[in-house]
A and B are shown apart, each in its own frame.
Chain A
Amino acid sequence: MSEEITRRDALGKVVRGTVLLGFAGGAGYLVKKANGQIVWQVDAAKCVNSRLGEVGAQVCTLCTSECVVSQSAVRAVNNFSKCGRCYICPAYYNIKSAVDEKGLPSEKLCPRDAIERKPIGLIDPEDPANNFYEYIIDEEKCDGCGICVKGCKEPLGLGSIVLKVRYNLCVDCNRCAIASACPKDAIAQEQVKEALEIEGAAKPVT
Chain B
Amino acid sequence: MKYKQVQVISGKGDASDRFVQTLRSIAVDGRNRLYAVGDSELKIFDPDGRVQRRWPTSKPGYAVAVAADGSVYVGQAGQVEIFDGEGRLADRWSDAERLGRVTAIGFLGSSVLIGDANDRAIRRYETGGKFLNNIGKNNRMQGFLIPNGVLDFSVDADGIIHAANPGKHRVERYTPEDHLLGHIGRFDGLDPSGFSGCCNPTNVTVVGRNRIYVTEKAEPRAKVYDFQGKLLSVIATVVFDPNCKNMDIAVDTRGRVYVADTVRLEILAFEEDAQP
Contact = CB atoms under 8 A, between A and B. Distances in A.
Interface of A: 52-53, 55-56, 84-90, 95-99, 103-105, 124, 129-132, 154-158
A88 B218 contact: no
Contacts of A156: 197-198, 217-218
Contacts of A56: 242
Contact of A86 (B147, B170, B188, B245): B147
B169 A88 contact: yes
Q: Is the interface of A mostly helix, strand, loop or mixed?
A: loop
Interface range on chain B: under 10, 10 to 19, 20 to 34, or 35 or more? 20 to 34
B189 A155 contact: no
B186 A95 contact: no
B199 interface: yes
Nearest to A87: B167
B194 interface: yes
A124 B217 CA distance: 27
A87 B194 contact: no
A52 B58 CA distance: 30
B198 A103 contact: no
B187 to A, nearest CB: 5
B198 A99 contact: no
B151 interface: no
Given A96-B190, A103-B187, A155-B244, A88 B198 contact: yes
B275 interface: no
Interface in B153-197: 167-170, 186-191, 194, 196-197
A104 B189 contact: no
Given A84-B199, A99-B194, A124 B140 contact: yes
A86 B167 CA distance: 6
B190 A98 contact: yes
B182 to A, nearest CB: 13
B189 A87 contact: no
A158 B187 contact: no
Most buried by B among A96, A103, A156: A156
A159 B180 CA distance: 32
Contacts of B140: 124, 130-131
B64 interface: no
Nearest to B202: A155
A158 B189 CA distance: 18
Nearest to A97: B189
Given A53-B243, A155-B217, A157-B198, A88 B187 contact: yes
A99 B196 CA distance: 11
B89 to A, nearest CB: 32
Contact of A55 (B170, B186, B188, B243): B243
16 contacts: A52-B243, A55-B242, A55-B243, A84-B167, A86-B167, A88-B169, A95-B198, A97-B189, A97-B190, A99-B190, A99-B194, A105-B189, A129-B145, A130-B141, A154-B245, A155-B243
